Structure 1
């Protein structure tokens, strides 16, 4: 049984082994080699020199690391601060680097098993399966390390940023819009990467990206506004779950700023993780982020100051300037010389790295249980089998009117851009093989029962300059020299939306690419940090077109000597003009194939490198126009169509979802995509996939991409005011499951440490086995604060035979009902009535039961017991959150587009308060004041004003008094509003005693 949330105040993650209670850590060793530090292979002579402590495996890792640190010179220690660390042979330390990409397989290091994208792994809701995937990925990292010891055992995965908004370009890298489910799934993956030995780690996982990272547009300078409840209830839990489970050893800050401060110098955020972690936690920078503190964000005046600030904030390893460590070393050395750092700052960072390296067995190869992994432990038969199983387990059946599962002997037309291709993404490895949907259908149903049409228009391009058609030469170079539009000149033109196309040569079977200025037709697939295989087509209005190579931004011209195509012109007016001859219409061929088939499997979706990826958010949530038109053509020809969406994210499908006989979704599922889909489409595997992210009914329902506050922005299934097209947790089986009853076993006086048991009775009323995911959600309709409409608190998968009825017991931790109390700065389960809902998704919850919780009452605020931070307000308007000080803290100021703004403190006890003191600073010259207002009935009465004195800059904080014109205690307990007027920043407020 799995609990999605075990309480926000002291959370542990669920596992397939049962409810994990506070105090549980990583799983104990199972099959790992026993650690016997007293064992020696050879007798030790009595006169042998003593073993240095750092070489003694009987000592705890921190003690060994401290001894090793003391043997390094200062110069050697400074060199440890860059990603590329030189060897120290006299101490047995090899060359080291942080970071091997392992998001869903080993990336960028050659052939490796390629598993489904994380959003697809998440759709399995199968923690044991995800742990097995992590273990295979970790094993293949070890294999790469065996072949090349410079391959790091510090892996940069998993990504735990919640999927707050479906337009985020990196949606595929995350697990869920629910932060607690994200934590649970990420813990499972990291557990596999880490391994089960109590001392030695197979690999050391790194959590990415701290924090509030969910926008690619201007990501290096964008500041996410994150009030305390959003920080503690939505963003931090996804990180804290894996940390508390003891399965990660590193974290990477994000490129963006949070409340005006770059994450790489946000000591508050880094400390929030380290304070909740037993053991080492290395903080590695994202690539180029240290320099961006000056060049992009301009938060610090120079690189020496910025490097010092990052190191003091807790960044331990600088990923900057690629392999050139001299720049980072020079900046740190200059900071030491200037007194901005001392040796202790350097030592703290180096010590964490040494602990990490010792944990991977670098100095204990005879004791490291993973050291025997050979370079050949790649693409093993069991890895292939697991990849297929994972691909099938993540397939989600969204709609089905009975066409699925496909019956034997059916004639199928498989149509669309994903009918016969398997896409990779930026963080994919190189798959050893791929199985397309068409491949798998032909293998399962028989090649004679399957017709393939990709839906692309086939064209031939004729150069106006040469009068000849474009063809690839023997070397793949594109040249306009063919006299006729024969097959050598034919190109399949696929539209991916927003005017973006790929062109595949019929002769070579490969894509056009402009990676070398001269155009070739020799690319296997779309790929690369800067995609070289995408083009735009510009119509001139005279039946000619010009072609732009998007990667370079240059337009294609034809060289007069030889007719070679090159990307060279600055604009379409100076580009080559082509006439396009249509060989055949892809839509017409698709319609003909659909009419001749019993069932159409229409495969649409995205290419992960185009129009939604790292550095690029999605322009919208709709299918590409050409794909939507292809779908309508096919549906008109044959309504018995299975709309099969292969994508990195949700779509708004509109009427297409209604018109299809079935709708199925899969993420880009790696090398076994085709088998995984067909296993489910044919019913060879019962559908088990469920959405971990809702699919909206309308694009207008998803809110502002740039608003990181799910409460104020109405984001995710927690707060969205509109029903989804397909809800969080949704996914159909091929049977029918009814929910018959819900009871709750609970103590009379439930508190934050209590665990209730929800007992759900389910029955399989169909004639097939059903794999049902029983889900329990919490709600609190009468809560005094904005509370999620529904929030997942527990789930369990159950296999039901036809006709079987079963009671399923699910643990519900009362602590999971907590909200962040800005008054006390802690999680609190408030007393009162809560509801538990049970069903098959967040919007299909036929059962409900009441839960009475004693909880902890929240007393009124007091202003006489110390400073109250302005950021800890209950409501706000026309203000933004900004750094209180350069290195830590948060303050408020008037929003850039407003003249005044306010923050509201609810239920303030004004008894004994005679006046107020406020800490203030200025953002600029000009009038500035803070007005104090007290609620009286439905109106606000202004009782005091504090003028803001002139200051030197925004960091020059002053304390000012606001003396009321009337006696405050007469208001007793009431609301207080602090109105910011002009160029003022407000840090804190406190009361002074009357008299």
Structure 2
């Protein structure tokens, strides 16, 4: 920058306290300059030595440096890529996650050294709670349990951050704060979250990742919480910053500032969003820079914000920049000289293999069919995912990748006698497509046009279920909808983009839109037909037709009929290979950008129908099937669990995927991964995906009360681990000291994930069936070896949110300690009594917040524009019921006061219920009020009929809301 006198200023003086350096900064910026710091980047200010840097960049499972987006176009830079986060969580290995974090932080530093423009505060990890397996972004999270998520994410964050007490190697920004688990309408939908769900579940991983992991920042979510957009959620300031002590800064999700007006319609101007966002705790607005600056100026001129608000934001974002070492005149930053050798190193390659191997979860191993060790046995490798590697949206560019088949071949290099065929057998159908006697062919330029039969292209069809299939040419090019030109072309070598334009669907002519591709396939193959007439749709449900030049094109109006000619069904070939082999390795699963991704939730838990059919047909001719599911989310594989002897599942993403699969298949490593999510039997067992109440929705292993396919924490090994002894001590009234002895009574070295769950036996309220409170991946246990593992569980981890007291409490109760290999495979248990508090009675003479109910029906929570949180009737055709238990009144009340609103017409009814049975026969009506067109919350007093009641009697208060009535709080006098 030429003049370097700025090096002598307090901003660059490492010896000064951080506060003084920040004081100097805000005192020496002009007001106009301050407006320019409200984005994730900052302007060049030469007199202060400030260069243009930015906060951001992805690092979900490695540094993302594809440079394929409009805002960061450039040459891709390969980085080490680990398993998807859901796979990393499947390792249950915090030490490993910390090592991965170190590798990611080092590689981020290398890229910074190359460009000097930022990328040292990455937007990862994603720790949204995965309460529903249909959520489209399941691959990005760490599972359904807040403790596991918090511990695993914290380890990753600590590795990224480094050990220096002041400087940061690479900062982590947690996504997305919070209750962000549906993709449909995600930019404006509201999540209804009551205090118990909030404090016990949704906030818990964020709290741990900040207080324990020392995350540098958080990103707010797109959604609303109880009607308030997350960008103006005051909990960011009140809880994240003031209670948990977030040291760095807060950003909003991409484009969310403008969405607050355009989609949420919460404010009428961007200036209001900026103003209320700043006051709620947002420091950087990830949005169009010019719009952000203009809105901030308007907010300032209107008196909605002050210069102090700008200073607070700048201090927070520059606190991160200073600790990243951007202003280091004395050269004390220990991470400033990380060299190129740290990127794609042999150490990182080995770490990627370790992570991919430990992420393998052995779901089933009937008859100990695995590992494959008999040199005289033969096997074949088949399936649609057997020789492919798919990239996910947050993946970087890999230095290399290994498909399952490549990994198996590499393992058997030099000795191919076991592998029946080196040719991949994907089991997919090949077809020709005809229109009015001519056939679709591919020109040199990639256009699809009609021609003679001799030039007909043979297309490979892959069915991904849910009306999505991909069509590939014999040259490996995918048909893709090019909306700009209005054509269907075959130029893409991979299925990958924000919008997957390579997804098509066929419909039989007899039933437009009614038949899936699986049905079409069954008609062609099972009925031994050679052709079928169909129509074809694009990913946007446009028609596929022809333009005037005769090229395959996109049409909004014309729907043409194609004839599909079956060349080979794929399954017969697969069955031939399977029948001639001793064992079948069948690789199936998902494509991470089809059916389930950002902006797309799954509608069910089913395997793609074609894959299900392939598995069943292969099993008919050879029951020795080893099914490998490469998937980032649970499947309801009911038939496979009953019939397939060995099943392994693992997440996609790792560059070492194929090598890891081979290592586990052939016994170099005993699989010891565990499921971080419950695998359910059927979609119908789940409540609607929009329901965020895990307690009353019986969600996750904590509350689910039906049979499951595979429980949370499930995973097998190649040996037998015995759980022999459990001791539990209650120490200093603050912690449990738990010791477990395990022993390897098998004949193979293996890891074992020891899991500690705790159940509260008595409570005034609904408590989980059990909750994970400690775990350890015990490594390299030798045959015959026994180990004692010690766990310390703080009693603060046993607290829950009490709606009577309005805060977290440790309730006096017996607590059962359950130790085992999964949430359902409990090996040892003990009971200990903990002298916590005894919950008292509700004092109705103090204001009771309406959302502090014990139970409810037909209700949701909503907070109007900067108003009070209220209980609202969900379906106005039915009554909303609220129950408040443990009520005792010592003196006869006269009136019931309620803070209510009623935009139309509605009623509120107050009733008594017997505390013991809560049945309608015990109900006594105490009072009622009807309102109409009350557009603001107001205090309304209702006379109470107490003649049939007795003071000092414990009862349940029932409040019934009808039609448009909203209730915020109440009390009696």
Regarding TM over 0.5, the answer is yes
Is 1:796–2:753 an aligned residue pair?
no
Q: Look up the match of 2:721.
A: 737
**CA shift in 2, pair 1:957/1:619, >3 Å:** closer
Q: Look up the match of 2:516.
A: none
The alpha-carbon deviation at position 741 of structure 1 amounts to 2.8
CA distance in 1, matches of 2:945, 2:433: 82
Aligned 1:305-344 pairs, distance under 5 A: 305-321=272-288, 325-344=289-308
Contact 1:307 1:332 in 2 (8 A): yes
Q: 2:556 aligns with which of 551, 560, 570?
A: 570
SS in 2 for 1:431: coil
Q: 1:407 aligns with which of 367, 370, 373?
A: 373
CA distance in 2, matches of 1:916, 1:360: 60
**CA shift in 2, pair 1:656/1:49, >3 Å:** closer
Q: 1:814 aligns with which of 777, 789, 795?
A: 795
SS in 1 for 2:923: strand
Consecutive unaligned residues of structure 2, counting only runs of 5 or more, are 68-75, 511-530
SS in 2 for 1:399: strand
Q: 2:743 aligns with which of 752, 757, 763?
A: 763
SS in 1 for 2:690: coil
The alpha-carbon deviation at position 935 of structure 1 amounts to 4.2
Q: 2:391 aligns with which of 412, 424, 440?
A: 424
Is 1:941–2:924 an aligned residue pair?
yes
Contact 1:918 1:987 in 2 (8 A): no
The alpha-carbon deviation at position 384 of structure 1 amounts to 1.5
Aligned 1:590-629 pairs, distance under 5 A: 590-629=574-613
SS in 2 for 1:712: coil
Q: Look up the match of 1:785.
A: 765
CA distance in 1, matches of 2:46, 2:568: 66
Is 1:174–2:141 an aligned residue pair?
yes
Q: Look up the match of 2:505.
A: 536
Is 1:481–2:451 an aligned residue pair?
yes
Aligned 1:576-587 pairs, distance under 5 A: 576-587=560-571
CA distance in 2, matches of 1:800, 1:829: 37
Q: Look up the match of 1:470.
A: 440
The alpha-carbon deviation at position 760 of structure 1 amounts to 2.1
CA distance in 1, matches of 2:464, 2:246: 47
Consecutive unaligned residues of structure 1, counting only runs of 5 or more, are 1-43
CA distance in 1, matches of 2:115, 2:448: 38
The alpha-carbon deviation at position 443 of structure 1 amounts to 1.6
Residue-by-residue CA offset, 1:958-991 (whole Å, 9 max, x unaligned)? 2232332337772444332233344332222233
SS in 2 for 1:484: helix
The alpha-carbon deviation at position 596 of structure 1 amounts to 1.1
CA distance in 2, matches of 1:834, 1:179: 20
SS in 2 for 1:430: coil
CA distance in 2, matches of 1:168, 1:936: 39
Contact 2:885 2:915 in 1 (8 A): no
**CA shift in 2, pair 1:686/1:908, >3 Å:** same
The alpha-carbon deviation at position 326 of structure 1 amounts to 1.5
Q: 1:513 aligns with which of 480, 490, 512?
A: 480
- How many residues are aligned here? 924
Contact 2:236 2:280 in 1 (8 A): no
Q: Look up the match of 1:706.
A: 690
Is 1:437–2:404 an aligned residue pair?
yes
CA distance in 2, matches of 1:898, 1:191: 52
Is 1:964–2:944 an aligned residue pair?
yes
Is 1:362–2:326 an aligned residue pair?
yes
Q: Look up the match of 1:674.
A: 658
The alpha-carbon deviation at position 740 of structure 1 amounts to 2.5
Q: Look up the match of 2:429.
A: 457
Q: 1:257 aligns with which of 217, 224, 248?
A: 224
Contact 1:442 1:449 in 2 (8 A): no
Aligned 1:85-484 pairs, distance under 5 A: 85-107=42-64, 108-109=66-67, 110=76, 111-321=78-288, 325-364=289-328, 366-374=331-339, 377-401=342-366, 402-409=368-375, 410-445=377-412, 446-450=415-419, 451=421, 452-464=424-436, 467-481=437-451, 483-484=453-454
Contact 1:423 1:670 in 2 (8 A): no
Residue-by-residue CA offset, 1:446-501 (whole Å, 9 max, x unaligned)? 4453333111111222343xx54333333444343354057xx2221111112311
Q: Look up the match of 1:876.
A: 856
Q: 2:544 aligns with which of 550, 553, 556?
A: 556
Moved more, 614-623 or 452-461: 452-461
**CA shift in 2, pair 1:640/1:547, >3 Å:** same
Contact 1:931 1:981 in 2 (8 A): no
Moved more, 234-243 or 518-527: 518-527
CA distance in 1, matches of 2:633, 2:821: 21
SS in 2 for 1:603: strand
Is 1:985–2:942 an aligned residue pair?
no
Residue-by-residue CA offset, 1:585-619 (whole Å, 9 max, x unaligned)? 21111101101111111111110111111111112
Q: Look up the match of 2:755.
A: 775
Q: Look up the match of 2:872.
A: 893
SS in 1 for 2:695: helix
The alpha-carbon deviation at position 894 of structure 1 amounts to 2.5
SS in 2 for 1:76: helix
CA distance in 1, matches of 2:235, 2:932: 28
**CA shift in 2, pair 1:316/1:482, >3 Å:** farther
CA distance in 2, matches of 1:757, 1:312: 43
Q: Look up the match of 1:11.
A: none
CA distance in 2, matches of 1:436, 1:331: 49
CA distance in 2, matches of 1:988, 1:660: 56
The alpha-carbon deviation at position 280 of structure 1 amounts to 2.7
Contact 1:915 1:961 in 2 (8 A): no
SS in 1 for 2:905: coil
Is 1:724–2:719 an aligned residue pair?
no
SS in 1 for 2:82: coil
Contact 2:6 2:47 in 1 (8 A): no
Moved more, 201-210 or 477-486: 477-486
Is 1:67–2:67 an aligned residue pair?
no
Contact 1:513 1:519 in 2 (8 A): yes
Q: Look up the match of 2:517.
A: none
The alpha-carbon deviation at position 292 of structure 1 amounts to 1.6
Residue-by-residue CA offset, 1:901-927 (whole Å, 9 max, x unaligned)? 232222223114634453424231335
CA distance in 2, matches of 1:698, 1:377: 46
Moved more, 516-525 or 233-242: 516-525
CA distance in 2, matches of 1:52, 1:916: 66
**CA shift in 2, pair 1:905/1:483, >3 Å:** closer
Contact 1:117 1:667 in 2 (8 A): yes
Is 1:696–2:696 an aligned residue pair?
no
Contact 1:687 1:733 in 2 (8 A): yes
The alpha-carbon deviation at position 168 of structure 1 amounts to 0.6
SS in 2 for 1:239: helix
